[in-house]
Amino acid sequence: MSHELSIFGKLKNAMITSCDDVLYFSDNETQLLDAEYLLTVNSAKSIRELNRHFGTPYNIFLENDTKKFATSCTPLLGRENADNFLGYRHVIRNSNNTLRSGKIDIAVYTNKNGDDIPICAIEVKGFNPNKSLIIADLERNSEYFRLTSRTGASILPFAFFISLHSYKGVWNDKKEKSNILKLENRYKKYINDSENLKNLHQSVEAFTIRRGVIPDANDPYIQEHGLRGDEDYQFVGVVITTKQPQACQSIATQQKCADV
């Protein structure tokens, strides 16, 4: 199984686990996850389950510096033309950073000959993030693929953005599916409205994490006490995978990228 597919599955598991954690903490099935860091930590721990040994194959960092990650996205060593008997000389990469410098929620590397090779950056948002926060994270993820240095272009294979969304009034399967489709289309519009985002392959997948159970109208308890208020909710997770166009491979089909 590929790095991308393995980590993608672990992120989905982490979203489910995080919503379950909040239920156990609050005893309220519809309670939203207010602590975004819970989802971040659960995501890192879920990815860690892929390691066969300590740090193998993944080194996982929380709140990783964008300059460190961006710099590692280009090859450590390269060659450039030189006036010597070889015709070239070895060079080392220069530093890079993103326009919005700071901390990446989760950065995943693998180690090769003592050098940290980036696998992916993961940006995490809790429930119902606003448009500006979503676009800011997607824009920064997109920057890593455009980086260059004297040793070559970016070698980053993919990046992820994950978020959670909540809905009420979900009384049937049709409404559940409609919410998922509308949410995917909303993210696709964000991507299509940005030159930086639409020039990369962006795969958008939304899925139901948990949904209320519609009670039996003939249930004596319901007839006596009425509804409890947790029958019509829906929690939805979103995963956006960003890749170079030539590296395109959809998670959903494992054959082609989702067109956005």
pLDDT at residue 24, as a whole number: 86
What residue spans define the domains of the chain?
3-247
Please write the tens of the pLDDT for every residue from 62-71: 999 999 999 9
- Return d(Cα 200, Cα 208) in angstroms, integer: 26
Please write the tens of the pLDDT for every residue from 141-186: 999 999 999 999 999 999 999 999 999 999 899 999 999 999 999 9
Angle of CA points 34, 69, 203, to nearest 5°: 65
Residues near 25 by Cβ (< 8 Å), separated by ≥ 6? 31
- Smallest CA-to-CA distance from 47 within 75, 171, 131, 56 is with 56
pLDDT at residue 188, as a whole number: 98
pLDDT at residue 214, as a whole number: 64
Spell out, as residue ranges, where the chain has pLDDT lower than 70: 1, 87, 214-230, 247-260
Return the structure tokens found at 204: 């958008």
